[in-house]
Amino acid sequence: MERLRVGFIGLGIMGSAMAMNIHKAGFPLIVYNRTKSKTEPFAKLGIPVAESPREVAEKSDVVIDMVTDAPDVEEVLLGPNGVVHGAHPGLIVIDMSTNSPDHARYFARELGKYGIEFLDAPVTGGDIGARQGTLTIMVGGKYEVFEKVKPILQAMGKTIIYAGDVGNGQMLKLLNQIVVGIDMLAVAEAMALARKAGIDMEKLFTVLSTGAANSFTVQYYMPKMMKGDFEPGFRAAHLKKDLRYALETANRLNVPLPGTALTLQLYNALVAKGLGEKGTQALLKLYYEMAGISDG
């Protein structure tokens, strides 16, 4: 059976690796990125580079977007030169960005006016998961559409979860981000106290990584934090955005989330300090500052 043609919009830290894995899996690919320099690795491989999201849609069966936030998704999908203007029968859009269930339902409604099918399919697993093709992907939308594009998703992820109706993929992702954010807070607090108490950080890492406190944050981010490496695998400003969406949803459903609220405020402080483009692990710098530790 002929492989679906895939268009990929958004070649940031995650998107570039995800698109490259689609190419490696043998799917015909066309890419677009607002900053053209990020398309150069693809052009060097002979992969077509589109001039607009509209062109991506015209030349694809499936369009994937992986951009920063809901306004960016709206621009590439519904904007003046957006995907809707390249709509054709059978076109499927997969939004792999993280925003909110309400946004997912809105995009589905608007695209539906042009006969376009829509799935919300945010991911988790960080930059390492994107590079290795081991992401966890949470998908909301029509099951038959999900089944049609599943081989494409399997090129990017190891665990593919069909979550049900449109919006449920985003809901699962926000729940994931609550745990991710609070876990980072816990690691930063432990490391700050360890420094003040004179505990060897390697010993702390051994305890946390081999006992009940073990987590992806401990395994992947704590070694970076110990070395003072705060460059992004996932940007602090993006986690702040995700936690805000989680709290907005919780407020609407009257669910108290005090831990999430505290974590969001700490990331607000981190962004206010100009560290929003650093990795989420830069939260440690804030804790070191509050504790009077000078070399954080």
What's the number of CA atoms in the CB half-sphere (13 Å) around residue 64?
Answer: 30
Q: Are strands 123-124 and 135-140 parallel, antiparallel or unpaired?
A: antiparallel
What length does the chain have?
296
Residue 189 has pLDDT above 50, yes or no: yes
pLDDT of 233: 87
Counted domains in the chain: 2
Taking residues 257-273, report their average pLDDT: 98
Tell me the residue range of the domain where 37 lies.
6-165
Beta carbons of 19 and 29 less than 8 angstroms apart: yes
> What are all long-range contacts of 197-201, with beta carbons under 8 Å and residues at least 24 apart?
201/226
Instruction: Give the single-character DSSP code of 3.
Output: P
pLDDT of 294: 86
pLDDT of 27: 98
* Confidence category of residue 296, pLDDT binned at 50, 70, 90: very low
What CATH number is attached to the domain comprising 46? 3.40.50.720
pLDDT of 291: 96
In a domain, 180, yes or no: yes
138-174 pLDDT per residue, tens: 999 999 999 999 999 999 999 999 999 999 999 999 9
Give me the percent of the chain exceeding a pLDDT of 90: 98
Beta carbons of 6 and 29 less than 8 angstroms apart: yes
In a domain, 67, yes or no: yes
pLDDT of 103: 97
1-49 pLDDT per residue, tens: 579 999 999 999 999 999 999 999 999 999 999 999 999 999 999 999 9
Q: Are residues 100 and 132 in the same domain?
A: yes
Q: Are residues 154 and 12 in the same domain?
A: yes
Q: Are residues 228 and 243 in the same domain?
A: yes
Q: Are residues 148 and 253 in the same domain?
A: no
* Rounded CA separation 276/160 (Å): 30
Out of 165, 190, 206, a domain closes at 165
Q: Are residues 270 and 138 in the same domain?
A: no
Asked about 173 being catalytic, the answer comes back as: yes
- Among 44, 142, 173, 224, the active-site one is 173
46-81 pLDDT per residue, tens: 999 999 999 999 999 999 999 999 999 999 999 999
Q: Are residues 263 and 206 in the same domain?
A: yes
Taking residues 122-130, report their average pLDDT: 94
Out of 146, 165, 184, a domain closes at 165
Q: Are residues 107 and 187 in the same domain?
A: no
Q: Are residues 93 and 144 in the same domain?
A: yes
What CATH number is attached to the domain comprising 269? 1.10.1040.10
In a domain, 121, yes or no: yes
In a domain, 295, yes or no: no
CB-based contacts of 194: which residues, under 8 Å, 6+ apart? 201, 204
Beta carbons of 25 and 138 less than 8 angstroms apart: no
In a domain, 1, yes or no: no
In a domain, 263, yes or no: yes
* Rounded CA separation 127/233 (Å): 5
Instruction: Give the single-character DSSP code of 90.
Output: T
